[in-house]
Amino acid sequence: MLFRLLLIICLWLGSTCGGYVEHPNFCIETEPLLLADIGQHVVIPSEKSLNCQIIATTLTSNEKASFIDTMCADHGSLTVKQDNHHYLRLRNGELSGRGSQEDICENQAKSVLAWVPYQMVLEHYARELNPKERLTYIAKATNVEREKTELCHFRHTDLVNKVVDGLFTCVVMIFGDNFYGVEDNINVLVELEPLMYQLRNITYMPWRNTTNSYKMNLGSSVLKNPGHERKPIYGSINYSFVEKLRLNVSSIYQVDETLEKLPLLLEHRGSVLELDANGIGGLQVDEKAYFGRSMDPLSEVRVQVIGQWVDQYREFSADIYEYYGHGLRRYKQALSQAKLTLVRVDNTEPVFEAPESSNLAKASLFREPSGSSHSKLMVNGSHSNFTEWEQAVDDDSAEESSGFYGWFVVTCLLVALAIILSVFAIVRSQSRRLQERQKYEVANQNAQQP
C-alpha cells in the first residue's frame, strides 16, 4: 500500500520524483532453474527472495532456440498450427498487455522472455484479465520424477477462475494427449518490456559552438606572505554548481523511428543521469580553482574567484541499451550524431584586491611548533602548521644573533685598541726614562774630566 501511494504521488508530481520507480516486490533472475533445484524440498530462502513477491527468470539462449523450434517450426501438429497461443507482457512488474505466438515467431524471440511461476501469475495478474475471453497461454511444465520439461499451454478460464486442483491441465504443445498438473511446477511465459534507454560509451565529437553568458562569484579567499622576501604565493578554492544537460531528443528518435518514446538515462561524469521526457537533467558538480600571484613581504591580499556560465553545444556517439530494471540491461543499437547542450561554469579567473595598511601581517599570541620557516600556502583565510608569530620570533632571533655578533666585533676592536694604546703608552714612558738616564750619564762624564 505504501509503495502504491508513493507511486501515485510521484506520477502526480511528474519530474519531481523522477521518470520511474522500480517495483520493490518485482525481481528479475538471470539464472535458470534446474531440475535438481526444483526437486529439493528444503530450500533456504535468501534475503532477496523474501522481498520478491514476483520473480521472473529470463530464458537462456538454448531455451529460446528450443522454443522457436517447437513453436515456430512445422511439426505437423494441429495444435501448434491452428491455435495462436498468448503470453503476458510485464513492465516494471505491472501487467502492460499481451502478445501472441506470431509475435515471437516474427522477431525470432529477440525480445526478453522470462518465466513466472503460475501461482504468482494467479495471485497478481489474474484479476486484471477479462473472464469472458477464450484464450490459451504458453507455459512450461517440469516433472521432477520423469526428469522432463516440456512446453505446454493452459486455458484462460483456469487462470481467471483460480483453478489450482486436479482440474487444471497444461497440454503439451506437440503431443496434445499428454498434460501436466499444477503439482508439476508450471511456469507461465511473459515478455519483459524495457523501462527506459541508457546512453552508454559516449564519445564526444569536436566542439560545435560555445555561447558565453553572465559571470558569477564562486567564492573568496585570502593570500598571505608572512616572509621577509617577495615571493609567489598560491592558493585554491572549492566551488560547486549544478551542471544542466539538454539532450536533443529529436536527434535520437527521429533517426530511428523503431525506438519507443521511453525515458533516457545518460552516462555522464562517471554516473548515470536520469533525463525527463524533454531530455533535460541536472548534476551536482564539485570543482576546484587554483590561483596565485607574486606578493610583497609581510602582506596579504583578498581574492575573489569568478566564473562564467557557458552553453556548450556538442555532438556525440553512443551505444543504446534497453534497461529493464533491477540492474538488467541489454544492448539495443549504436547511435551517432546525437546533439547535447551542456550548461556549465567555465573560464574561472581570480580578481585580486589591492592590499591595505590594516591588512599587513601582525604577530599573533598563538604559536604552533614547526621546524621550517618557509612560506606556507594560505587557503580560504586559514593556514596550516604556521603562524605569523613563529615567523616574527624567528626573524627576531635572527636579528638578535646578528646584533650580538656586531657588538662582539666592536668590543673586540675596542679591547684591541685599548691594548695597543696601553702598549704604546708603556713604550713611550720607557723611552722617556731612557732618554733622561742618558742625559744624566753624559753630564756626569763631563764633570769628571781634569
Instruction: Provide the grid cell at 49.
Output: 527472495
- Judgement on whether residues 220 and 185 belong to the same structural domain of the protein: no
State whether 310 and 381 are in the same domain: yes
Nearest residue to 43 (alpha-carbon basis) of 168, 162, 163, 185: 185
User: What's the CA gap between 345 and 355, in Å, rounded?
Assistant: 28
Sequence-ordered alpha helix ranges (H) in 312-387: none
Distance, in Å, from the CA atom of 235 to the CA atom of 229, rounded to the nearest integer, reads: 18
> Please, which residues have CB within 8 angstroms of residue 406's CB and are 6 or more apart in sequence?
none
Q: So what's the pLDDT on residue 307? A: 93
Q: Are residues 44 and 66 in the same domain?
A: yes
How high is the pLDDT of residue 61? Answer: 86
With 0-12 / 13-18 / 19 or more C-beta atoms within 10 angstroms meaning exposed / middle / buried, residue 110 is exposed
Phi, psi angles (nearest 5°) of residue 48: -70, -45
Whether residue 40 is found in the same domain as residue 71: yes
247 and 142 together in one domain: no
Domain end call among 390, 424, 441: 390
> Is 449 part of any domain?
no
Contacting residues for 424 by C-beta, under 8 A, at least 6 apart: none
**Final residue in a domain of this structure, among 164, 192, 220:** 192
Q: What is the pLDDT of residue 18?
A: 46
Cβ atoms of 28 and 59 closer than 8 Å: no
Residue 418 lies in a domain: no
More confident residue, 367 or 20: 20
φ, ψ of residue 133 to 5 degrees: the values are: -75, 150
Residue 158 has pLDDT above 80, yes or no: yes
Least confident of 252-256, 350-354, 383-387: 383-387
Q: Answer whether residue 185 shows pLDDT above 80.
A: yes
56: number of Cβ within 10 Å: 27
Residues 45 and 188 in one domain: yes
Q: Which residues pair with residue 171 across a beta bridge?
A: 153, 179
* Residue pLDDT, tens place only, 327-355: 888 998 898 888 999 999 988 999 988 76
Number of Cα atoms under 13 Å in the Cβ half of residue 70: 19
Q: Is the pLDDT of residue 386 over 50?
A: no
Buried b (16+ CB within 10 A) or exposed e, 381-399: eeeeebbbbbbbeebeeee
pLDDT band at 385 (very low <50, low <70, confident <90, very high): very low
- Residue 379, pLDDT > 90, answer no
C-alpha distances (whole Å) from 260 to each of 20, 44, 267 are: 16, 41, 19
Closest CA to 377 of 385, 368, 369, 365: 385
What pLDDT, on the 0 to 100 scale, is given for residue 76? 55
Residue 310 lies in a domain: yes
Measured in degrees and rounded to the nearest 5, phi and psi for residue 228 equal -105, 15
Residue 394 has pLDDT above 90, yes or no: no
pLDDT at 450: 42
The answer on 202 and 153 residing in a single domain is no
DSSP 117-128: EHHHHHHHTGGG
For residue 384, is it within any domain? yes
The Cα–Cα gap between 349 and 52 comes to 54
Residues 233, 108 within the same domain: no
The pLDDT of residue 392 is above 50: no
**425 occurs within a structural domain:** no
pLDDT, average across residues 312-325: 91
- Per-residue pLDDT band for 47 (boundaries 50, 70, 90) equals low
- List the alpha helices (DSSP H) in 101-246: 101-106, 118-124, 156-160
pLDDT-derived band at 45, boundaries 50, 70, 90: low
Do the domain assignments include residue 399?
no
Q: What is the CATH number of the domain that holds 211?
A: 2.170.15
Residue 19 has pLDDT above 70, yes or no: no
For residues 150-167, give the mean pLDDT. 90
Structural domain containing residue 163 = 20-192
Same domain, residue pair 200 and 148: no
- Same domain membership, residue 253 and residue 232: yes
Whether residue 137 is predicted with pLDDT greater than 50 in this model: the reply is yes
DSSP 3-state of 351? strand
Q: 156 and 242: one domain?
A: no
Pair (202, 238) in one structural domain:
yes
Span 274-282, average pLDDT = 88
**Structural domain contains residue 396:** no
Split at pLDDT 50, 70, 90, the class of 289 is very high
User: Of 390, 415, 438, which marks where a domain is finished?
Assistant: 390
- Look at residue 410 and give its three-state secondary structure: helix
Average pLDDT over the chain, rounded to whole?
Answer: 78
Query: What are 73-129's pLDDT values in tens digits?
Result: 765 554 444 568 999 999 999 999 999 988 888 888 888 999 999 999 999 999 999
pLDDT average, residue stretch 154-180? 87
- Decide if 78 is inside a domain: yes
- Residue 361, pLDDT > 70, answer no
Question: What pLDDT, on the 0 to 100 scale, is given for residue 36?
Answer: 59
Q: Which of 37-51, 65-79, 201-215, 358-372 has the lowest mean pLDDT?
A: 358-372
Answer whether residue 404 shows pLDDT above 90: no
Contact 303, 353 (CB under 8 A): yes
**What is the dihedral angle through the alpha carbons of 59, 141, 119, 22, rounded to the nearest 10 degrees?**
0
CB 60 within 8 A of CB 114: no
Average pLDDT over residues 194-201: 90
pLDDT computed for residue 44 by the predictor: 52
Within 13 A of 260's CA, how many CA atoms are on the CB side?
12
Average pLDDT over residues 434-438: 74
Residues in the chain: 450
Contact indicator for 142, 184 with CB cutoff of 8 Å:
yes
Confidence of residue 56 (pLDDT cuts 50, 70, 90): very high
Domain count, the chain: 2
Distances (CA, A) of 339 to 163, 208, 285, 312, 331: 54, 10, 21, 11, 21
Q: How confident is the model at residue 269 (pLDDT cuts 50, 70, 90)?
A: confident
Share of the chain above pLDDT 70, in %: 74
